[in-house]
Amino acid sequence: MEDDDAELLRALWRRPGGEPVRGPGRKASLTLDAILDAGTAIADDRAAPPLSMRLVADRLGRTPMALYSYVAHKRALMRLMYDRVHAEFPEIDGPDPAARVLAWADALTDLYARHHWLGEVSWARPVLGPHEQAVLEALLVQLTPLDLAPDRVRALVAALFALCRNTGRLIGDARHAAETSDESAWWADQSAAFQDAAPDFAERFPLSAALGAAPRTDPLPAEGTYLERTARAELHSATRLLLAGAALKE
């Protein structure tokens, strides 16, 4: 257990071209990076079967067990893939700090939407890798000009990560569902069936019903499914609320 974790840490933080010290023994014909790329390509494709050691091995022309010289187990593979895709995170830019925080949130949400399997990686025992650490640092860069107390920064960071994680996952799922079957038809069927199954909805949950009926006034983004656009709007709005709350003195 400890051994595995230490090895994982070393793999995460290895120097990019760091050859792993040659001794005796057969030459390696694969690289860890090649394995991570293959794994990511497989995991990203939601239409295809999900990530498995066999599929990764097939794609590289090896047997499944060959991967275990590079990676202790599937969890470690995913943990390494997880950090690696954070390298895609773009440079953040914007006219003012608030806009840059919004841009950061959009970028992280996009990352989670593109790589839906990111959500499967647990955060307990947080062994951050360098790329995920860079994403966090990028957020802190935007927050420093606001000059907030450390505890507030921590709360903001936690909230923003949670929000982006969730919104990104939702958007990813929604995009996939939209590809699989017609969205508006599904909603129509669904609400008809719902009327049937829960005719007393409005009486049992009056506030929910009222909120559902209340029109949206915030502008919606132009692209994506309806679910995606509302999720994005709520992400933006919530981010602004957080920033506004954090800016208060008291």
Question: Can you give the binding site for DNA, defined by CB under 7 A?
Answer: 22-30, 49, 51-55, 57, 61-66, 68-70, 73-75
CA-nearest of 85, 103, 110 to 142 is 103
- Out of 27, 93, 150, 222, the residue judged to bind a copy of itself by CB under 8 A: 150
Q: How far is the CB of 29 from a copy of itself (least distance, A)?
A: 26
Q: Are 103 and 93 in contact (CB under 8 A)?
A: yes
| CB of 12 or CB of 53, closer to DNA | 53
Among 4, 5, 33, 179, binds a copy of itself (CB under 8 A): 5
Q: Is 21 in the site for a copy of itself (CB under 8 A)?
A: no
What is the smallest separation between the CB atom of 211 and DNA, expressed in angstroms? Answer: 34
Rounded Cα distance between 179 and 7, Å, is 40
At its nearest, how many Å lie between a copy of itself and the CB of residue 58? 26
Helices (H) and strands (E) in the chain, counts: 11, 0
222 binds a copy of itself, rule: CB under 8 A: no
48 binds a copy of itself (CB under 8 A): no
* Spatial separation of the C-alpha atoms in residues 236 and 104, rounded to whole Å: 11
Could you tell me if 80 and 11 are in contact, meaning their C-beta atoms sit under 8 angstroms apart? Answer: yes
**Closest to 221 in 3D by CA, of 112, 126, 109, 77:** 109
Diameter over CA atoms, the chain: 75
In sequence order, what E strands does the chain have?
A: none
* Residue in this structure with the two tokens 């060959």, named with its chain if needed: 66
Q: Sketch the per residue contact string, 183 through 212, with a copy of itself: x for CB under 8 A, - otherwise.
A: ---x--xx--xx--xx-----xx-xx--x-
Identify which of residues 42 and 108 has a Cβ nearer to DNA in the complex.
Answer: 42
Of a copy of itself, DNA, none, which one sits near residue 155, judging by CB under 5 to 8 A according to partner kind? a copy of itself
